[in-house]
């Protein structure tokens, strides 16, 4: 005799699908852009405890850590970085919904902005909070090398771009505003002897690995320095960008060429030291006490490039936002 066993089938509801909370994804994105929980809390207008709770809730869904503490703040792990495209899509979807829900004529102005990654630490907080301002500006931004961003503005693939390089003279269809400046510096771990008292040791630099931030105007300065020093080609290494250079220098893999503002937090914490490039143009200059005091010796200009097709009100709000973030009026 054969027995047939009846298998009980559950007639209850299917298990609830565990999806990430949109607010938690946006919080992770804010931390990535702002560099730490405190700055992210300021950008989002909440307490830091709320930021910590949201990150902890999101972490419960992940088998791998999403963030890690470093000397310079909170950084995303590869698992956390993998979520950023989805977080940006969520933010864009919510902004689109907000525009549909808003009364006619009250939706924020929108700008597609290109941004040199070297400028991100100085501007991330202001760009993230722009939609929440009394006169909101909805910004979708794309990182890229200055030359690539200029080409995109010319072709109207971008409305505007913040770059470290601009075309000489005027150009039809394009408005170029100089909004400030920054300084190109050599960056080294503190206490290693490459930099002492804001002056670099040229002899030591010749023996080191020179780390450059990939395809950028800053890398061009670094390659010129390498030629001046007589650095061997094998000692010049191009990485994927300024973040990679900063991490490699912190790990003791060499000395980097970067914008001074990009490593301000690390120099304030005495993890890194910097010296203007003018102090290392030749071996004798390194002992000159006055070279590093000339602000124009290594300065690069920060440009806002705006396509003429951008509505005047949007262009004006963007100019005011960036000028305020940089702490300087437009130079014209």
The verdict on 156 and 41 lying in the same domain is no
The verdict on 126 and 34 lying in the same domain is no
Q: What is the pLDDT of residues 299-331, one digit of tens each?
A: 889 999 998 888 888 888 889 888 888 876 544
Closest CA to 147 of 307, 289, 303: 303
Are 82 and 136 members of one domain?
no
Examine the domain organization and report whether 69 and 173 are in the same domain.
Answer: no
Percent share of the chain, pLDDT over 70 = 85
Instruction: Give residue-wise pLDDT tens across range 41-52.
Output: 887 888 889 999
Q: Of 92, 126, 145, which closes a domain?
A: 92
Whether 100 maps to a domain, the answer reads no
- The CATH number of the domain holding residue 115 is 3.40.190.290
Question: Both tokens of residue 313?
Answer: 């009100």
Residue 318 in any domain: the answer is yes
Among 321, 187, 152, smallest CA distance to 263 is for: 187
CA angle 117, 94, 44 (to 5 degrees): 60
pLDDT of residue 280: 62
- Which residues sit opposite 162 in a β-bridge? 115, 304
Domain shared by 114 and 248, yes or no: yes
CA distance 66 to 50: 17
Residues 53 and 189 in one domain: no
- Do 292 and 237 sit in the same domain of this protein? yes
Q: Is the pLDDT of residue 168 over 90?
A: no
Please enumerate in sequence order all residues whose Cβ is within 8 A of that of 256, keeping only pairs 6 or more positions apart, or say none: 186, 187, 188, 210, 211, 212, 213, 245, 246, 248, 249
Give the pLDDT of residue 124. 80
In-domain check, residue 6 = no
pLDDT at residue 86 greater than cutoff 80: yes
Q: Whole domain around residue 82: which residue ranges?
A: 20-92
**Statement to judge: residues 172 and 82 lie in one domain:** no
What local confidence, expressed as pLDDT, does residue 107 receive?
58
Indicate if 150 and 39 belong to the same structural domain.
no
Domain boundary at 92, 120, 145, which?
A: 92
Degrees to nearest 5, angle at CA 158 with 155 and 159: 105
How many domains, in total, are found in the chain? 2
Domain boundary among 36, 65, 92: 92
On whether residue 248 sits in a domain, the answer given is yes
Report, as an integer, the average pLDDT of 188-204: 83
pLDDT tens per residue across span 248-284: 999 999 999 999 999 988 989 999 999 887 666 444 4
Q: What is the mean pLDDT of residues 230-251?
A: 91
Regarding whether 115 and 82 lie in a shared domain, the answer is no
Going 42 to 43 to 45 to 46, the CA torsion angle's sign is negative
Q: Is residue 9 part of a domain?
A: no
Answer yes or no: do 180 and 320 share one domain.
Answer: yes
Rg (CA), the chain: 24
Whether 232 maps to a domain, the answer reads yes
**Residue 44: inside a domain:** yes
* CA 180 – CA 187 distance, rounded (Å): 22
Q: What is the CATH number of the domain that holds 28?
A: 1.10.10.10
Output the pLDDT for position 2. Answer: 45
What's the pLDDT score for residue 3? 45
Q: Report if residue 132 sits inside a domain.
A: yes
Residue spans of beta strands (DSSP E) within the chain: 67-70, 73-76, 109-115, 137-143, 160-163, 174-189, 195-196, 199-200, 210-212, 236-238, 255-259, 272-276, 299-307
Residue 324: both structure tokens together: 């305020």
Whether residue 113 is found in the same domain as residue 168:
yes
């Amino acid at each position: 005799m054969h027995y047939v066993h009846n298998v009980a089938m559950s007639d209850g509801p299917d298990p609830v699908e565990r999806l990430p909370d949109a607010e938690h994804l946006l919080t992770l994105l804010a931390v990535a852009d702002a560099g730490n929980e405190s700055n992210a809390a300021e950008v989002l207008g909440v307490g830091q405890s709320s930021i910590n709770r949201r990150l902890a809730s999101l972490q419960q869904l992940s088998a791998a850590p999403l963030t890690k503490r470093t000397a310079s703040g909170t950084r995303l792990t590869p698992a956390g970085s993998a979520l950023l495209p989805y977080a940006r899509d969520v933010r864009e979807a919510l902004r689109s919904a907000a525009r549909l829900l808003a009364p006619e004529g009250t939706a924020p102005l929108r700008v597609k902005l290109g941004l040199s990654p070297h400028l991100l630490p100085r501007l991330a907080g202001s760009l993230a909070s722009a939609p929440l301002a009394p006169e909101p500006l909805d910004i979708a931004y794309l990182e890229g090398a200055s030359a690539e961003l200029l080409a995109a503005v010319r072709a109207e693939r971008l409305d505007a771009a913040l770059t470290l390089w601009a075309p000489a003279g005027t150009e039809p269809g394009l408005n170029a505003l100089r909004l400030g400046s920054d300084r190109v510096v050599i960056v080294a771990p503190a206490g290693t002897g490459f930099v002492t008292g804001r002056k670099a040791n040229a002899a030591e630099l010749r023996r080191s690995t020179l780390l450059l931030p990939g395809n950028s105007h800053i890398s061009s300065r670094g390659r010129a320095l390498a030629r001046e020093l007589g650095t061997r080609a094998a000692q010049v290494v191009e990485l994927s960008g300024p973040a990679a250079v900063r991490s490699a220098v912190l790990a003791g893999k060499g000395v980097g060429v970067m914008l001074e503002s990009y490593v301000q937090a690390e120099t304030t914490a005495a993890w890194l030291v910097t010296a203007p490039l003018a102090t290392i143009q030749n071996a004798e200059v390194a002992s000159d006490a006055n070279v590093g005091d000339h602000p124009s010796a290594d300065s690069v200009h920060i440009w806002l490039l705006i396509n003429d097709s951008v509505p005047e009100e949007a262009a004006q709000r963007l100019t005011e936002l960036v000028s305020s973030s940089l702490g300087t009026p437009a130079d014209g």
